[in-house]
Structure 1
Amino acid sequence: MVDLQTWFGIQQLYADYASAVDSGHWDLWPEFFTEQCVYKLQPRENFERGFPLCTLSFTSKGMLKDRVYGIQETLYHDPYYQRHVVGAPMVRRVEDGRIHAEANYAVFRTKLDKESTVFNVGRYIDTLVPTPEGLKFAERLCVYDSEMIPNSIIYPI
């Protein structure tokens, strides 16, 4: 479905994304997306039933940058580290130059004075597009498995 160079580009994009959101350098996060993009965090039940309700929903790179500003400047929360473990992406199809891919993920959270815990588990459902800077996300839907989530999700999944 995709050539070897594109496959490596997809792998690198997923690895770089996980590294960026785990590093705490939040300004890196929006740069993985196109200007007109979609980023949603949605429970599996809503996704499978076709319900539009999402926990988080952003529809432009500007909105992602606004979230970064909120994380850095306005949101008050108990700080924590997160660590992503992402499975190998599976290319589902390629249409009109857009790559539709999926990957399973698990995010672990470590609060400064506590042990690490499983924070969020699910799958990414992505649409990738080539840009002059390399592959970027046009859409990233994070479909999480559990109906029970912590009372606040501050950092990107």
Structure 2
Amino acid sequence: MLDFETYRQLLALYAEYAAVVDDNDWDKWPDFFTDECTYKIQPRENFDRGLPLATLAFESKGMLKDRVYGITETIFHDPYYQRHVIGVPRIVRAEAGRIETEVNYAVFRTKPDELPTVFNVGRYIDTIVRAPGGLKFESKVCVFDSEMIENSIIYPI
């Protein structure tokens, strides 16, 4: 069970995470993670079957920073905006400075000259730890429900 202050910090972590990725503030994105972390975007079918194949998979904060460099400096794509709607975290387990959660999410995408579309829907399966500076993601697995993704995933989910 979490105390109220830790739960408030947990909600703030998710709110700030969504704000940073929605605002394309990519330099701040890796700061949500521990140095040794896991970040995956994986189709539900693979996750449910225990298959390791993921659409994107990073294994450290350094790899996240490399992705930021790719997004900002090398990847060419049509510009678009994201808007995250994140549900209330369900606490799966909380013990000794570790919190395991599941949280539903929906990401809407808007290109400047088009109507918004539903881009990606699924759940985060997260492990969060207390670190210097507050709560951080040790592991974030974005399990998306569809077996298909539109075009490609450029930005973090």
TM-score (norm 1): 0.98
Unpaired runs of 5+ residues, structure 1, are: none
TM-superposed deviation, 1:115: 0.4
Structure 2 counterpart of 1:60: 60
Aligned residue pair count: 157
Distance in 1, matches of 2:115 and 2:121, equals 18
Q: Would you identify which runs of 4 or more consecutive aligned residues in structure 1 move more than 2 Å?
A: none
Q: Deviations over 1:63-82 (max 9, x none)?
A: 00000000000000001000
Unpaired runs of 5+ residues, structure 2, are: none
Q: Name the SS for the 1:153 alignment partner.
A: coil
TM-superposed deviation, 1:90: 1.0
Structure 1 counterpart of 2:82: 82
Structure 2 counterpart of 1:42: 42
Distance in 2, matches of 1:43 and 1:63, equals 21
Q: Deviations over 1:38-80 (max 9, x none)?
A: 0000000000010000000000000000000000000000010
Counterpart AA for 1:84: H
Q: Deviations over 1:73-123 (max 9, x none)?
A: 000000100000000011110234211011100000000110000000000
**Does residue 135 of structure 2 align to residue 135 of structure 1?**
yes
Superposition CA RMSD, Å:
0.7
**Does residue 112 of structure 2 align to residue 103 of structure 1?**
no
Distance in 2, matches of 1:68 and 1:47, equals 25
Distance in 2, matches of 1:70 and 1:23, equals 17
Identity percentage of aligned residues = 66
